[in-house]
Amino acid sequence: MDYLKEGLVALYPLAEAEAIIAVLFEHYHSWNRVDINLKSEEQLSESELLKLHHALKELKEFRPIQYVLGVANFYNLKLMVNEHVLIPRQETEELVDLIITEVDNGKSIIDIGSGSGCISVSCKKSKNLSAVYAVDIDPHALQLVSDNAKQYNLEIETIRMDVLNWSDHERKYDVVVSNPPYVLEKEKASMHQNVLRYEPELALFVQDHEPIVFYEHIADFSVKHLNTDGIIYFEVNEKFADEVADCLKFRNFKKIRVIKDLNGKDRIVTAIV
């Protein structure tokens, strides 16, 4: 166990290194932090040591632990992830919590840019929704949505679509939700290597000169495909929350709200069509 800590503290602060070790032992051995202390002298098998060795090797290359293990914790669920999708984050949990609080049972939801399906799966798991649809341009992401839905015995329909060139159809929805790409290209310089090396650029970045392009296209889609009094929920770059709100106002959405996250940042925008 000491060699794990020694290998990680050279790359991460001590508290973060210890948190990573705790996650490794919880994943591979079902040990909690108390178990780690009580069993620190316990001999591990060769196969167990080999798993930890390989994990440490990947972590030393700045590969995020969620990709190393193939799972991420999100809204009390364990979701499968890989490098085709973003690692679900706390801000998105807050978005999900808002939807679950506000949206009535029996409604239909379409999750645009679904990635791992963290939004669509957690909403379907927590609410008695009539239908949930997950949209992504990447078929690998849609496969993850299906796999994550299947492990919780949930029915989610996947749709492959490029929202910047969305295909028209007759179906309508009660809720549109999206956490689209919103990190500016120029912000790369300040980002951690484990994000830049491993998380999919397609799901992260937008051109500096069109920071809300995805929101504009999704808003246009929503105007046509939301039912009367349907709601749109966006996770946004805090720097452009007001611009996203203006984009919705321009399209005659009502009751537009800009909502702060737990850190006091403008990270959610909602409106009614």
- Tell me if 235 is assigned to some domain: yes
pTM for the whole thing? 0.92
The 8-class DSSP code of residue 43 comes to P
Region 95-107 average pLDDT: 97
Q: Using an 8 Å Cβ cutoff, are 22 and 39 in contact?
A: no
- Count up the domains in the chain and report the number: 2
Give the domain range for residue 49. 2-61
Give the pLDDT score at 1. 60
Q: Collapsing DSSP states into helix, strand and coil, what is residue 206? A: strand
- Tell me if 66 is assigned to some domain: no
- Tell me if 18 is assigned to some domain: yes
Q: Collapsing DSSP states into helix, strand and coil, what is residue 270? A: strand
Same domain flag for 41 and 94:
no
Same domain flag for 199 and 236:
yes
Q: What backbone phi and psi angles, to 5 degrees, belong to 117?
A: 90, 15
Same domain flag for 156 and 206:
yes
Give the pLDDT score at 194. 81
Among residues 15, 31, 61, which one ends one of the domains?
Answer: 61
Same domain flag for 186 and 145:
yes
Give the pLDDT score at 74. 97
Q: Collapsing DSSP states into helix, strand and coil, what is residue 120? A: helix
Contacts of residue 76, defined as CB under 8 A and 6 or more positions apart, other chains included, come to: none
Spatial separation of the C-alpha atoms in residues 85 and 122, rounded to whole Å: 16
- Tell me if 34 is assigned to some domain: yes
Residue 98's CATH number: 3.40.50.150
Give the pLDDT score at 195. 87
Same domain flag for 192 and 99:
yes
Same domain flag for 8 and 132:
no
For the sheet with 266-272, list strands across it: 157-160, 131-136, 108-112, 173-178, 226-235, 266-272, 254-260
- pLDDT score of 39 more than 90: no
Same domain flag for 43 and 143:
no
Which stretch of 14-28, 32-46, 138-152 has the lowest confidence by average pLDDT?
32-46
- Tell me if 37 is assigned to some domain: yes
- pLDDT score of 58 more than 80: yes
Instruction: Give CA separation, 214 vs 73, 96, 137, 181, 230, in Å.
Output: 27, 19, 13, 7, 19
- Tell me if 77 is assigned to some domain: no
User: Higher pLDDT residue, 39 or 116?
Assistant: 116
pLDDT tens readout for residues 60-97: 888 999 999 999 999 999 999 999 999 999 999 999 99
Region 171-187 average pLDDT: 94
Same domain flag for 11 and 93:
no
- pLDDT score of 165 more than 90: yes
What is the token pair recorded at 177?
């939700």
Q: Using an 8 Å Cβ cutoff, are 17 and 5 in contact?
A: yes
Spatial separation of the C-alpha atoms in residues 183 and 192, rounded to whole Å: 13
Same domain flag for 264 and 143:
yes
Same domain flag for 48 and 92:
no
Same domain flag for 170 and 257:
yes
Region 125-139 average pLDDT: 97
